[in-house]
């Protein structure tokens, strides 16, 4: 996996979940234009597996993330 940010949050507040489900625990919330690293291997049809510069990791809905 590449460690360079390759995506950005495209909504005002993005929920990051512990599992690829909106019913799972919310790990953190990210702000608009926060840079992300997306792990395509662990992503699902609806969710990206993401990592942030501050060390947060989890899953977020694809529709709220723009790949650079």
Per-residue pLDDT tens digits for 23-66: 999 999 999 999 999 999 999 999 999 999 889 999 999 999 99
With beta carbons less than 8 A apart as the criterion, state whether 34 and 8 touch. Answer: yes
Reported pTM: 0.91
Per-residue pLDDT at 4: 72
Instruction: Give the start-end residues of each E strand in 1-68.
Output: 7-9, 13-17, 26-31, 35-39, 47-52, 57-61, 65-67
Evaluate whether 27 touches 18 at the Cβ level (below 8 Å).
Answer: yes
pLDDT at 5 (0 to 100): 75
Residue (of 65, 41, 67) closest to 16 by Cα position? 65
């Amino acid at each position: 996996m590449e460690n360079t940010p390759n995506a950005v949050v495209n909504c005002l507040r993005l929920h990051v979940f512990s599992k690829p489900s909106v019913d799972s625990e919310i790990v953190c919330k990210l702000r608009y234009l926060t840079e992300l690293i997306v792990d395509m291997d662990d992503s699902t049809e609806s969710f990206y597996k993401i990592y942030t510069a501050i060390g947060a990791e989890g899953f977020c809905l694809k529709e709220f993330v723009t790949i650079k």
